[in-house]
Structure 1
Amino acid sequence: MTGLRVLNLVTNAQSQFFRAQVAELERRGVEMTTLSVPGENHSQSVDAGTEGSRSVWDYARFYPSVLSQSLGGYDLVHANYGLTAPMAIAQPRLPVVLSLWGSDLMGRYGPVTKRLAPLCDAVVVMSQGMADVYGGDCRVIPHGVDLDMFEPMDRDGAREEVGWPTDERIVLFPYPPKREVKNHPRARAIVDRVAARLDLPVSMRTATDIPHERMSYYLNAADALLLTSHREGSPNTVKEALACNLPVVATDVGDVARRLDGVEPSTVSDDDDELVTGLAEILRSGDRSNGREHATEIGVERMGARLLSVYESVATS
């Protein structure tokens, strides 16, 4: 089935994985129109789908534009992030696909999301862990990674590109330190313990507000990615690290353990001692991982094919 017309509802149209999703589906012949919730989204990452500083009024005044646009000959509405579900469900004509991004299911609005999601025609989550939290009928489709953009390159060349020194071991913490859910203090403590253990210069750096097309340089310039989040759905930074053969040390959140299954070197644990040991061993050896070998199933092409299958099943039911 080709020529589908889809009306996207989204809280953050600048989210990199949302933009990649739209681009891939358009490449497959789907006509995509996007409506964003009005008001300011002051979340601290463009990859976050959080409600930011928007008010209930912002969401209420979003509905008239959704209703008006839904009469424009579309085949379905794709509600991206749980807070767009009420507006999608309230339009009376089109079937609804709801994609959950993580915090909309596992954060403060999780109970609301769980009540509304069964009213949609199809629900998509990013990981099996999210599916378990949701507990209803859903499809697990992780956000995809552009494997042409994210690929291995020479470490020293990448460091020259981003301006990092070549004489130290660098741990990349890829989030703003103020995002509490990412737990920067725990990451800082782990790196400090590793630095005290190794007879090597060790530093931790962040890479925020970086154009997405340049993130591959930072992932290739680092010696390890460290993720210490309290919770995640299916973090794209881990998948992008795999595509670049960057070793990952992470807490056991979302689908991280599944993504790192068979990837060496890597460490997944909720125990700080194990995280410290794993990171120290990676920095001591300086080895890259075999993550690229495990990246095929997280490519943006596979994501697009699976989402298109959902669209077709909903549009023809």
Structure 2
Amino acid sequence: MHVLTLTTNADAPFMNEQMRVLERRGVSFSTLSVSGDGRAGRSRTPADYLRFLPSVVRESANGYDLIHAHYGLTAPMALAQLRKPVVLSLWGSDVFGPVEPLSRACVPFCDEVIVMSDEMRRYLGRDCVVIPDGIDLEKFRPEPGDRARQEVGWADDEHHVLFPYTPEREVKNYPRARRVVNAVNGLIDRPVRLHTVYGVDHDLVPTYMNAADALLLTSDSEGSPNSVKEALACNLPVVSTDVGDVASRLGGVEPSRVATSDEELIEGLRAILESGERSNGRENAREISIDRSAERMLEVYERVV
């Protein structure tokens, strides 16, 4: 099976890892990415997408079995070619953010629509396939914290809170994370440091997960945040707002906390840091392995073709 992948971010680790696993199952991929600068805090222009359209139409004629559009902004280009079936994967911000009207308008014309969580499916109000991004459990696994802190250069006599996003992404609400950590800093004896880790090689992320004492997620909206699932695989406690599928992912995971207010976030983070315990999250992470997600994606491909 040969698949043409359309994306706004050709470097997305979860997408590329999924494709690598599917390649071992006999699927081959070619990828087209929208040109221009789409980094956080910047946006592509309509002209970038208009230039993308003819390249998709031309490339789609080259013997593919289906088109897989990742993110709602690539859906119109996938549908513009009339030769091949279209699978659309929605990532979260294209459902709960400003491009939602475009995503929603394209959904009925796609042969299959994949979302990250039941919340996204309910919000769209139609039958979608729920396949959260899978986690490589060989890469993300518990390691000794002291060794990890030494590798990333963090002090052993401080509490370390991981915020794995750029502060410029407004939906991640970095000001709230900073506010929460500042409050906790005044409640416990050891200093609490908030680390924004982004743009690093994905192979280094497990080291940061194992070096940290807690993951703090303060997003206004999410689909199925990969950082939470990666934290589970590393037994890193999570303190999060109640967004996407976080509550279900953290069901039975201790210590962790899902909160709806600053006060609950502060108290949850304080309690976790004072306990000094790792979580039992890896037990839940086994449900979302990259191999399981790839198997379900292959079922979608075979059904469409």
TM-score normalised to structure 2 length: 0.98
- How many percent of aligned residue pairs carry the same amino acid? 58
Give the secondary-structure state (helix, strand or coil) at the position aligned to 1:33.
strand
Matched, 1:43 2:33: no
Give the secondary-structure state (helix, strand or coil) at the position aligned to 1:14.
coil
Q: Structure 1 CA distance, aligned partners of 2:264 and 2:36?
A: 43
Matched, 1:123 2:113: yes
Matched, 1:13 2:1: no
Q: Structure 2 CA distance, aligned partners of 1:135 and 1:99?
A: 16
User: Which residue of 178, 195, 198 maps to 1:188?
Assistant: 178
Higher deviation after alignment, 55-64 or 297-306:
55-64
Unmatched segments (≥5 aa) in structure 2: none
What whole-Å deviation, never above 9, does each CA across 1:192-235 have from its counterpart, x for those lacking one? 11111112222211112211000111000000000001111111
User: Which residue of 8, 25, 31 maps to 2:22?
Assistant: 25
Give the secondary-structure state (helix, strand or coil) at the position aligned to 2:186.
helix
Q: What corresponds to 2:245 in structure 1?
A: 255
Q: Structure 2 CA distance, aligned partners of 1:187 and 1:57?
A: 35
What whole-Å deviation, never above 9, does each CA across 1:62-120 have from its counterpart, x for those lacking one? 12211111111111000111111111111011000000011111111101211111100
Give the secondary-structure state (helix, strand or coil) at the position aligned to 1:28.
coil
What whole-Å deviation, never above 9, does each CA across 1:246-279 have from its counterpart, x for those lacking one? 0000000011111100100000011221111111
Shift of 1:134: 1.1
Map 1:75-114; keep pairs closer than 5 Å: 75-114=65-104
What whole-Å deviation, never above 9, does each CA across 1:266-311 have from its counterpart, x for those lacking one? 0001122111111111100100000011111111101100000000
Q: Structure 1 CA distance, aligned partners of 2:247 and 2:220?
A: 14
Shift of 1:41: 1.9
Q: What corresponds to 1:65 in structure 2?
A: 55
Residue identity in the other structure for 2:235: N
Matched, 1:308 2:293: no
Q: What corresponds to 2:122 in structure 1?
A: 132
Q: Structure 2 CA distance, aligned partners of 1:168 and 1:42?
A: 32
Q: How well do the aligned residues superpose, as a CA RMSD in angstroms?
A: 1.0
Residue identity in the other structure for 2:2: R
Tell me which stretches of 4 or more aligned residues in structure 1 moved more than 6 Å: none
Q: What corresponds to 2:150 in structure 1?
A: 160
Aligned pair count reads 305
Report if the CA contact (8 A) 2:79-2:110 is conserved.
Answer: yes
Shift of 1:29: 1.0
Residue identity in the other structure for 1:180: E
User: Which residue of 132, 157, 166 maps to 1:176?
Assistant: 166
Residue identity in the other structure for 1:80: H
Matched, 1:216 2:213: no
